[in-house]
């Protein structure tokens, strides 16, 4: 019998669109409405058929797999827990408890995306806001180093460019859209203004903008590859808008300057608040990567790259972060939670993953899962298990479980491993 589930949350990206309609035939998703292509893929490709864990590629009982995973982690000298960004905050919380029990390092995918945003935030604060405020108030939107038309396909329609807001009743016509990027992206093509910054020139551009906002004049004819005249026009728009927002992505956080770029961006936004209302918001990628930062921060005091080997949390981006630990061959066991490092990390890091025992907890049998010493196929948060996820603006959403599943949640598997570790 077909049933419909309404107001389902899509957890593919940080937009967490909460208006998805699923048509279900028992434990199959047969129709998906309102999701973008990325969200469609998430729901339509969901396969809940794999019910047994695997040890070295062979099916095993849950008890045996939990025992094996617990022994691997307990006997390791330097275990690492990594991932966290595509699971519920309830599971993230247990993963931190497990890291503490093991004296392990724990790191999320933030360290390879918006980690520099966290660092910048700690230095200068974060001039933030919610997507609801943006929809209702923002009349100047600047997209810097991000391409939401491809990566967050419904962002324009639901939260930023298109919607009619309480104080922006003309929707798109009531907003000016500026894109700053190194190339003419699909997002840049639909913007009112496109500023092409030279690769690595973002910091210079930010400094120049801040100087102009402060009323200083520039001797140079250009900064970061953009003419001073164009920059002056942008500064005029920034100072005279009613409410401006800068959305920024990995074009700023993962290029030359990294956290210094974001620091400068936040400082620029702070300056702009002397003239009008302005905010900045990171375009977070994975569905609950914001939750990973939140959970780690309220449990450890730090958002990522935390080490528990001394019995208390120590913060060390560049030391306790995943790429550094793997490339330096420091870690001797890896637990991957809802992530696929074999597919996404640099080859030197992947080489080390191939040499050490790994445990993967993931609804999908990813590349990392296929390589894992122990693999646990789990329920997917927001599909066949409930949970909490934080939207890119830090707003937590409760996820329902529209489908009845037969697999345990990530949280349940982690709790069982934690119990096993305590017994070892």
- Site residues for ligand SF4 per CB under 6 A: 10, 12-13, 15-17, 35-36, 38-39, 152-154
DSSP 81: E
Q: Which is nearer to ligand SF4, 32 or 342 (CB)?
A: 32
153 CB-near residues (< 8 Å, 6+ apart): 36, 37, 38, 39
CB of 155 to ligand SF4, least distance (A): 6
For the CB of residue 411, give the shortest distance to ligand SF4 in the complex, in Å: 22
C-beta closer to ligand SF4: residue 153 or 160: 153
Q: Which is nearer to ligand SF4, 283 or 306 (CB)?
A: 283
**296 φψ region: left (φ > 0), alpha (ψ -120 to 50), beta (else):** alpha
The nearest distance, CB 152 to ligand SF4, in angstroms, is 5
Q: Where are the alpha helices (DSSP H) in 9-114?
A: 37-44, 62-75, 89-102
Distance, first Cα to last Cα, the chain: 46
Q: Which residue has the tokens 């038309």?
A: 149
CA distances from 117 to 89, 367, 406 (A): 20, 29, 38
Q: Specify the 3-state DSSP secondary structure of 231.
A: helix
Q: Quick one: 13 or 268, whose CB is closer to ligand SF4?
A: 13
Q: How far is the CB of 187 from ligand SF4 (least distance, A)?
A: 13
Give least dist CB 203 to ligand SF4, A. 29
Two tokens at 188? 């840049």
Of residues 4 and 329, the one with the C-beta less far from ligand SF4:
4
- State the CB neighbour count (10 A cutoff) for residue 21: 15
Residue 361 near residue 416 (C-beta atoms within 8 A): no
Considering the complex, state which of residue 67 and residue 152 has its C-beta at the smaller distance from ligand SF4: 152
Question: Which CB, 154 or 258, lies closer to ligand SF4?
Answer: 154
- 387-420: buried (b, 16+ CB within 10 Å) or exposed (e) per residue? bbbbbbbbeebebbbbbebebbbbbbbbbbbbeb
Which residue number, 39 or 420, has a Cβ lying nearer to ligand SF4? Answer: 39
Angle between helices 115-124 and 259-272 (to 10 degrees): 50
- Indicate the helix (H) or strand (E) that contains 209: helix 202-213
Give the separation between CA 243 and CA 205, rounded to whole angstroms. 21
Asked if residue 386 lies in contact with residue 418, where contact means CB atoms within 8 angstroms, the answer is no
How far apart are CB 17 and ligand SF4 at their closest, in Å?
3
Burial class (CB in 10 A: 0-12, 13-18, 19+), 361: buried
Residue number, 36 or 234, with CB nearest to ligand SF4: 36
**Residue 37 CB, nearest distance to ligand SF4 (Å)?**
8
Give me the least distance between CB of 151 and ligand SF4, in Å please.
8
Considering the complex, what minimum distance in angstroms separates the CB of residue 197 from ligand SF4? 26
């Amino acid at each position: 019998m077909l049933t419909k589930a309404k107001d389902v949350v899509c957890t593919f990206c940080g937009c967490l669109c909460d208006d998805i309609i699923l048509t279900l035939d028992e434990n199959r998703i047969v129709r998906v409405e309102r999701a973008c292509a990325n969200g469609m893929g998430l729901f339509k490709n969901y396969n809940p058929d794999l019910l047994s864990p695997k040890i070295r590629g062979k099916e095993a009982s849950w008890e045996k797999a939990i025992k094996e995973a617990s022994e691997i982690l307990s006997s390791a000298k330097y275990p690492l827990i990594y991932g966290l960004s595509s699971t519920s905050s309830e599971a993230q919380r247990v993963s931190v408890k497990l890291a503490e029990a093991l004296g392990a390092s724990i790191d999320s995918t933030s360290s390879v995306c918006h980690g520099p945003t966290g660092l910048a935030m700690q230095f200068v604060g974060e001039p933030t806001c919610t997507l609801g405020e943006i929809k209702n108030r923002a009349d100047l939107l600047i997209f810097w180093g991000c391409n939401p038309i491809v990566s967050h396909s419904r962002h324009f329609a639901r939260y930023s460019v298109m919607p009619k807001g309480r104080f922006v009743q003309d929707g798109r016509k009531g907003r000016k859209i500026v894109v700053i990027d190194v190339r003419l992206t699909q997002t840049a093509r639909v913007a009112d203004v496109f500023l092409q910054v030279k690769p690595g020139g973002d910091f210079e551009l930010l400094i120049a903008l801040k100087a102009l906002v402060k009323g200083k004049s520039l001797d140079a004819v250009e900064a970061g590859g953009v003419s001073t005249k164009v920059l002056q026009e942008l500064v005029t728009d920034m100072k005279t808008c009613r409410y401006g927002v800068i959305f920024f992505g990995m074009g700023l956080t993962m290029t030359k300057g990294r956290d210094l770029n974001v620091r400068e961006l936040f400082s620029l936004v702070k300056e702009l608040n002397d003239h009008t209302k302005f905010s900045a918001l990171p375009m977070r990628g994975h569905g609950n990567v914001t939750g990973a930062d939140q959970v780690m921060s309220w449990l450890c005091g730090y958002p990522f790259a935390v080490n528990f080997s001394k019995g208390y949390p120590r913060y060390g981006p560049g030391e306790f972060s995943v790429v550094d630990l793997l490339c330096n061959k420091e870690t001797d066991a890896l637990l991957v939670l809802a992530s696929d490092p074999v597919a996404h990390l640099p080859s030197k890091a992947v080489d080390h993953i191939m040499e050490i025992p790994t445990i993967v907890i993931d609804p999908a049998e990813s590349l990392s899962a296929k390589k894992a010493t122990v693999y646990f196929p789990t329920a997917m948060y927001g599909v066949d298990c409930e949970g909490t996820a934080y939207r890119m603006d830090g707003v937590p959403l409760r996820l329902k479980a529209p489908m009845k599943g037969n697999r345990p949640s990530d949280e349940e598997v982690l709790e069982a491993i934690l119990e096993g570790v305590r017994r070892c």
